[in-house]
Amino acid sequence: MTTHSPAGGVAGPVREVRLDRYPGAEGVTERDFAVFPVTAPASPGPGEALVALRRLGMNAGLASRIGGPDTAYGPGVRLGDVPGSDAVVEVVASRDPALRPGDLAVGKVPWRTRSVLPASALRKLPPDAADLGLESFLTVLGHVGFTAWTGLVRVGRVREGETVFVSGAAGGVGSCAVQFARARGARVIGSAGSARKLALLTGVLGAEAAFDHHEGPAADALRAAAPGGIDLFFDNVGGEQLEAALEVLRFRGRAVLCGAASQYARREVRGPANYVRMIYQELTVRGFTVTAHEELRPAFEEEVGALVRDGVVRGVHTTAEGFDAVPAAFAGTLAGRGLGRTIVSVD
């Protein structure tokens, strides 16, 4: 129902997604959000650009901010608020010399088909962006790739020959972490929630072993996959899988906390009941927030850009078609549906 303007932007009415009600006891569902038509944004002011949404990435972590506190990743989301996440946009009009109509850029943008944004909030894509695929800038070369790299390389200090366990390994960040760990010479064990995801991990992404966390105790599966223990845990999930990792980490092992997808929708978070093992095993657990590590981006782009262009690592994503699919795509992300990151295509 949309038509492409000559500049490549999306014509048709401007729409946005709002939090329409607070989630009930069943957790966040797509019915908690609704799409609303809105008046077209005003023309950009000096230093601003009018952009059209092209690809919108979904983040499970947003769920923890619905009705919740502000965090480093963004403000708490209240009734009527328009959430935001990272996206590829196309510049429609610009009053900043760095951006011209037709330019493609990434940035954190509201869930709205067109927005006026400060040019400083957008980073232009490189000239070979179309060859690499726009989605790459929301996966392996984007925010989630940068997150995986920062957590694995800088916070977790992964070393060649180590055994690394990645939870949620077939998700957006997880699928990057698995590949980056492999590229750095580590053995990787991944967990995921379906046979199709396990096949992705061992058949495509290079994991040595993978297990389905729905099938029996995670600690048993992890110990079977790593009888000698693990050196490093990269956690996207929390809950039982964090406990499993604390159980199987070697003496002086490290855990990097990136996310806690299993806990975001829970009223009572499950803290690791075996945390006392951290004392006897001298474990180190470090949380991190990639937005606090912007100074590392050039090193990330250099290393991972080369890996992507050489075909050593690849972005993994699942596409949802059309802006109206955003609520379902977000709920699907929380439910663990889809391989890699879920991206809404708004072309």
Q: Which of residues 99, 141, 164, 285 is near a second copy by CB under 8 A?
A: 285
Q: How far is the CB of 195 from a second copy (least distance, A)?
A: 29
Give the footprint of a second copy on residues 67-106 (CB under 8 A).
71-73
Establish if 294 lies at the interface with a second copy (CB under 8 A).
Answer: no
193/200 Cα distance (integer angstroms): 12
Question: Counting every residue, how long is the chain?
Answer: 347
Locate 204 and state its tokens. 């495509």
158/106 Cα distance (integer angstroms): 28
Establish if 190 lies at the interface with a second copy (CB under 8 A).
Answer: no
By C-beta, is 287 or 322 nearer to a second copy?
Answer: 287
Which range in 44-52, 182-190, 269-277, 298-306 contacts a second copy by CB under 8 A? 269-277
Locate 190 and state its tokens. 């991944």
Establish if 157 lies at the interface with a second copy (CB under 8 A).
Answer: no
Residue recorded with tokens 């966040």: 28
Q: Are 246 and 274 in contact (CB under 8 A)?
A: yes
Which range in 18-26, 257-265, 297-305, 312-320 contacts a second copy by CB under 8 A? 257-265
Burial 146-182 (b: 16+ CB within 10 A, else e): bbbbbbbbbbbebeeebbbbbbbbbbbbbbbbbbbbb
Q: Are 342 and 321 in contact (CB under 8 A)?
A: no
Q: How far is the CB of 192 from a second copy (least distance, A)?
A: 21
By C-beta, is 156 or 193 nearer to a second copy?
Answer: 156
Residue 297, phi-psi category: left (phi > 0), alpha (psi -120 to 50), beta (remainder): alpha
Establish if 292 lies at the interface with a second copy (CB under 8 A).
Answer: yes
Establish if 272 lies at the interface with a second copy (CB under 8 A).
Answer: yes
Q: How far is the CB of 118 from a second copy (least distance, A)?
A: 24
Locate 253 and state its tokens. 């092992």
Which range in 38-46, 283-291, 297-305, 322-330 contacts a second copy by CB under 8 A? 283-291
Q: Which of residues 238, 327, 336, 340 is near a second copy by CB under 8 A?
A: 238
130/82 Cα distance (integer angstroms): 29
Residues that bind a second copy (CB under 8 A): 64, 71-73, 238, 243, 251, 257-260, 263, 268-289, 292
